[in-house]
């Protein structure tokens, strides 16, 4: 648990103001939808231009004088994809869908036109209880194994224009030919037959291709405009989705091209973790516009997406970037599940976050909760690192060791990692310490000699009790990975100390007793 402390930062740090400019006004124009809201009245069920039947009809019109049977014989049109509705019954079966990192699924049907501003994360098919995952929709290639989740094949598809960039050089494969006509001509005519060809889209075959790209940034209190590194941006048109990943400067470029407008969106999610909001199964996400050309987004400091983005950045750091040799938090995979982090849009005066592995086992909750979106972004980042450290500690412990570990051990370790990893991004970051619970033992073991002053101690009955004490910290030179290795499966304060001394040779280890004693004294 990350308790609220007054963060102490060097006075040289500059706190920057808010900047709310963005190409897509995600906060002001988006419709807020209640939990479980069904298909809105303004939504339109579309005829499917990519169904094999409609593609054959389009080919017949263009090449065989309307003769469908002849079209079947000579066109080469056959099923390339299945349009599938998955029906996960619970969190466990939902996690099965997420074990394949290349599978792109949506919580809403792909052949429905939703009104602009509709929050698709709120969509729920009729009859689905709110405590169960909703149906998930995807286009699955016919040669790909189907996930072992209950499903229904809604349509057989022929997708000849899935223009993927495959050589890593930004070059697009040559257009597909369907026995005498181009893929673009066939698709355009099928769009026309099914009533889906917009006036400005006529002449599709002669239109140039465009590649979805852009920049996703946020305004940070200290760092200014920064990229939301690691986000997976999706650009979807009908059943084809191209994806791109945001780099450290905020730029992304997707792995394919379109000739017509596509729907942009992104979720605050990666293979190993998911940021949730509000409702039980609702992934935090942003639906962008349907457009051609770049999609740029900037989240101001007061935007809820700035809160989501900061949590995402910290989780992405702990999972995929340099963490000084530490172990990663629980990872997704066979017999494992994606870590869920719930971003809670409310003020909590008791704590900024907490971690509870029991919520993970129940399959109904999020392992980690993060509160207080009004906090400085460096505080939210540090809180997320702190709670992820608890998750990592739980993951590396055997049996009930984590549950039965003393609180001073759990919180001192999380405090130490919080400081070390957060300072890799916010170089002057400091966190508060107290004796008996949220101690600075790890900090003292890593840095040089100093006079340590602690102004309070913490107990369950009297948290944050003022009482100033000091000692001469004469321990130095341990690494944070050594602290972690010694911590594994140690449940008590003294056992952790003794394991450090027995595992590692350090010229200051004779002073380690004084450090442990100081932090474990009122």
Summarize pLDDT for 97-149 with one digit per residue, the tens.
888 888 999 999 999 999 888 888 888 888 888 778 889 999 999 999 999 99
The whole-angstrom separation of Cα 382 and Cα 426 is 9
The whole-angstrom separation of Cα 415 and Cα 214 is 37
Is 49 within a domain?
A: yes
Question: What pLDDT does 282 receive?
Answer: 85
- Predicted confidence (pLDDT) at residue 30 exceeds the cutoff of 50: no
Question: What radius of gyration do the chain's Cα atoms show?
Answer: 27
Question: What pLDDT does 31 receive?
Answer: 36
Mean pLDDT across 155-184: 76
Which string of DSSP letters, residue by residue, matches 300-321? -TTSHHHHHHHHHHHHHHHHHS
The whole-angstrom separation of Cα 91 and Cα 94 is 5
Whether residues 223 and 332 share a domain: the answer is yes
Is 26 within a domain?
A: yes
Is 102 within a domain?
A: yes
Whether residues 121 and 226 share a domain: the answer is no
Is 273 within a domain?
A: yes
Whether residues 116 and 259 share a domain: the answer is no
Whether residues 338 and 241 share a domain: the answer is yes
Confidence class of residue 404 from pLDDT cuts 50, 70 and 90?
A: very high
Asked if residue 204 lies in contact with residue 181, where contact means CB atoms within 8 angstroms, the answer is no
- SS3 call for 375: coil
Whether residues 289 and 187 share a domain: the answer is no
The whole-angstrom separation of Cα 242 and Cα 255 is 5
Question: What pLDDT does 443 receive?
Answer: 98
Lowest-confidence segment of 6-20, 30-44, 345-359, 440-454 by average pLDDT: 6-20
Q: Which residues of 61-88 are buried (b: 16+ CB within 10 A; e: fewer)?
A: bbbbeeeeeebbeebebeebbbbbbbbb
Question: What pLDDT does 203 receive?
Answer: 72
Which of 267, 268, 223 is closest to 248 using CA atoms? 223
Question: What pLDDT does 300 receive?
Answer: 97
Q: Is 156 exposed, middle or buried (0-12, 13-18, 19+ CB in 10 A)?
A: middle
- Predicted confidence (pLDDT) at residue 14 exceeds the cutoff of 50: no
Lowest-confidence segment of 158-167, 226-235, 266-275, 392-401 by average pLDDT: 158-167
- Predicted confidence (pLDDT) at residue 281 exceeds the cutoff of 60: yes
- Predicted confidence (pLDDT) at residue 477 exceeds the cutoff of 70: yes
Whether residues 474 and 372 share a domain: the answer is no
Is 168 within a domain?
A: no
Whether residues 51 and 185 share a domain: the answer is yes
Mean pLDDT across 80-98: 91
Which residue range is the domain that position 68 belongs to?
43-160+173-207
Is 414 within a domain?
A: no
Confidence class of residue 52 from pLDDT cuts 50, 70 and 90?
A: very high
Whether residues 70 and 151 share a domain: the answer is yes
The whole-angstrom separation of Cα 35 and Cα 488 is 41
- Predicted confidence (pLDDT) at residue 25 exceeds the cutoff of 90: no
Question: What pLDDT does 387 receive?
Answer: 98
Mean pLDDT, rounded, of the chain = 89
- Predicted confidence (pLDDT) at residue 359 exceeds the cutoff of 70: yes
Question: What pLDDT does 438 receive?
Answer: 98
Q: What is the pLDDT of residues 199-256, one digit of tens each?
A: 877 775 567 899 999 999 999 999 999 999 999 999 999 999 999 999 999 999 999 9
Mean pLDDT across 492-517: 98
Whether residues 64 and 17 share a domain: the answer is no
Confidence class of residue 92 from pLDDT cuts 50, 70 and 90?
A: confident
Please give the structure tokens belonging to residue 451.
């006079």
Whether residues 203 and 323 share a domain: the answer is no
Mean pLDDT across 435-450: 97
Question: What pLDDT does 364 receive?
Answer: 59
Q: How many domains does the chain have?
A: 3
Is 280 within a domain?
A: yes
Whether residues 251 and 271 share a domain: the answer is yes
Mean pLDDT across 4-8: 45
Percent of the chain residues past pLDDT 90, beyond the cut: 73
The whole-angstrom separation of Cα 520 and Cα 522 is 7
Lowest-confidence segment of 9-18, 203-212, 405-414, 446-455 by average pLDDT: 9-18
Whether residues 301 and 431 share a domain: the answer is no
Is 289 within a domain?
A: yes
Percent of the chain residues past pLDDT 70, beyond the cut: 88
Lowest-confidence segment of 8-22, 403-417, 506-520 by average pLDDT: 8-22
């Amino acid at each position: 648990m990350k308790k609220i402390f007054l963060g102490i930062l060097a006075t040289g740090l500059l706190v920057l103001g808010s900047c709310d400019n963005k190409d897509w006004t995600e906060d002001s124009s988006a419709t807020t939808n209640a939990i479980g809201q069904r298909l809105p009245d303004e939504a339109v069920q579309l005829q499917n231009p990519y169904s094999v039947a409609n593609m054959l009809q389009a080919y017949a019109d263009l090449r065989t004088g309307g003769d469908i049977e002849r079209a079947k014989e000579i066109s080469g049109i056959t099923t390339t994809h299945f349009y599938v509705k998955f029906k996960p019954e619970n969190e466990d079966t939902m996690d099965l869908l997420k074990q394949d990192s290349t599978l792109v699924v949506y919580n809403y049907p792909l052949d429905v036109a939703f009104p602009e501003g509709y929050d698709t994360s709120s969509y729920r098919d009729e009859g689905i209880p709110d405590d169960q995952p909703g149906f998930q929709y995807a286009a699955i290639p016919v040669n790909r194994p189907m996930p072992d989740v209950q499903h229904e094949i809604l349509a057989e598809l022929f997708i000849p224009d899935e223009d993927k960039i495959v050589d890593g050089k930004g070059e697009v494969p040559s257009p597909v030919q369907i026995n005498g006509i181009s893929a673009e001509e066939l698709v355009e005519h099928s769009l026309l037959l099914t009533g889906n060809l917009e006036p400005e889209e006529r002449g599709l075959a002669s239109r140039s291709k465009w590649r979805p790209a852009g920049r996703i940034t946020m305004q940070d209190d200290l760092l200014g405009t920064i990229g939301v590194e690691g986000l997976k941006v999706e650009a979807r048109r009908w059943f084809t989705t191209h994806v791109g990943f945001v780099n450290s400067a905020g730029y992304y470029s997707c792995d394919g091209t379109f000739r017509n407008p596509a729907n942009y969106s992104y979720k605050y999610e990666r293979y190993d973790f998911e940021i949730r909001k509000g409702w039980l199964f609702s992934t935090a996400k942003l639906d962008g516009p349907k457009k051609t050309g770049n999609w740029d987004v900037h989240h101001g400091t007061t935007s809820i997406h700035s809160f989501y983005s900061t949590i995402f950045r910290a989780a992405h750091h702990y999972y995929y970037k340099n963490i000084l040799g530490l172990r990663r938090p629980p990872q997704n995979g066979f017999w494992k599940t994606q870590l869920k982090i719930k971003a809670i849009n409310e003020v909590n005066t008791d704590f900024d976050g907490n971690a509870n592995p029991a919520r993970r086992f129940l399959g109904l909750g999020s392992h980690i909760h993060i509160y207080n979106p009004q906090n400085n972004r460096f505080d939210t980042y540090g809180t997320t690192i702190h709670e992820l450290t608890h998750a990592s500690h739980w993951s590396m412990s055997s049996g009930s060791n984590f549950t039965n570990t003393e609180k001073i051990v759990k919180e001192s370790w999380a405090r130490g990692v919080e400081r070390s990893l957060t300072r890799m991004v916010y170089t002057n970051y400091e966190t508060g310490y107290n004796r008996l619970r949220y101690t600075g033992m790890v900090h003292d073991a890593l840095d040089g000699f100093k006079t340590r002053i602690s102004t309070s101690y913490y107990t369950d009955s009297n948290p944050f009790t003022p009482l100033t004490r000091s000692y001469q910290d004469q321990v130095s030179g341990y690494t944070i990975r050594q602290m972690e290795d010694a911590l594994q499966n140690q449940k008590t304060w003294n056992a952790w100390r003794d394991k450090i001394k027995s595992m590692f040779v350090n010229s200051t280890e004779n002073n380690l007793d004084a450090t442990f004693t100081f932090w474990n004294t009122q």
